[in-house]
A = this chain, B = another copy of it.
């Protein structure tokens, strides 16, 4: 069996997790190269992950051709390399546009962490360039679609058992943000997930967004507006509200309630070990998104590998990345003006023919 040879660009927290995921948990894929602006951490990761191969070669009874993960200095070289079949982009968002164009040029399938690019205009250019290529090679890292709970919710809503979906209530909470966090990052880095969730669950574009700013928590730096409360209006007249609170103090929490004509469905209520101790019943909150969504990331990468080797990539598309960027841009305007802002989206049929 021929493994898909994967290169990872950017090995910060997310990229390193993905690299390890490819090596330790993903069937049918092999990590061959990593690149990072910080050469030291790329070397360290490559060394650590190569050891596993060596160990395998030593103990298993099979033929031994231990391979190592190599470090490539320039991400563009990694993307171009003959022995790299597909790329995972986990570099900073501002580097995505150039790297995506390189992937398109070499026809390399790419799993690109969100955001697709930094603004709607450049995202649209990526969409157009891929369209010219004639096949989907870009998948955007909206990994909630792969979370078993979100997937079950989507399946339930699509089944029609609850009638038409009317409303979504979303809650998205992080334990705390670093002091450098700015108000805009709530929209672009956090709320962007609920933008995709709303588009995906409804199967409709968002046409209007209002970002409300209640009096902020006293536990953030001056001038940061946290929490934020957004209201989305969708093309079919449905609506969604979203609380994003990145300094929630308690832990990580993501919830989504869909309200339909014949009932409602909620995911993210949590489970695990239910304790009674210290005069309390309950459980612990996950520390962060990596704990809560570990399984979603595993499934996302396995499915991307499987779809890529079959030549049938079907995850969140460049258009999904572009539409999310357009909504976030409108959201940032609403954040600064306090007013509802219409989302200016290109005509899909014109762009994609």
Across the interface, which residues of B come within 8 angstroms of A231, CB to CB? Answer: 212, 229, 231
Task: Tell me whether A56 and B265 are in contact (CB under 8 A).
Answer: no
Q: How far is the CA of A284 from the CA of B1 in the complex (A)?
A: 39
Task: Tell me whether B241 and A262 are in contact (CB under 8 A).
Answer: no
Task: Tell me whether A167 and B249 are in contact (CB under 8 A).
Answer: no
Q: List CB contacts (< 8 Å) of A113-169 with chain B.
A: 148-149, 152-153, 156, 161-164, 166-167, 169
Q: List CB contacts (< 8 Å) of A270-294 with chain B.
A: 270-285
Interface check A302, CB cutoff 8 A: yes
Interface centre among A23, A263, A271 (most CB of B within 10 A): A263
Q: How many residues on A have C-beta within 8 angstroms of the other chain's C-beta atoms?
A: 99
| Pick from B52, B267, B270: contact of A273, CB under 8 Å | B267
Number of chain copies forming the complex:
4
| Pick from B270, B281, B306: contact of A285, CB under 8 Å | B281
Stretch of A2-10, A182-190, A191-199, A321-329 that contacts chain B: A2-10
Across the interface, which residues of B come within 8 angstroms of A239, CB to CB? Answer: 212, 214, 229
19 A-B pairs (CB sep. < 8 Å): A1-B52, A2-B56, A5-B60, A24-B28, A27-B27, A55-B310, A56-B309, A162-B275, A163-B219, A212-B231, A212-B233, A249-B263, A249-B277, A250-B263, A267-B272, A269-B274, A279-B285, A280-B282, A280-B285
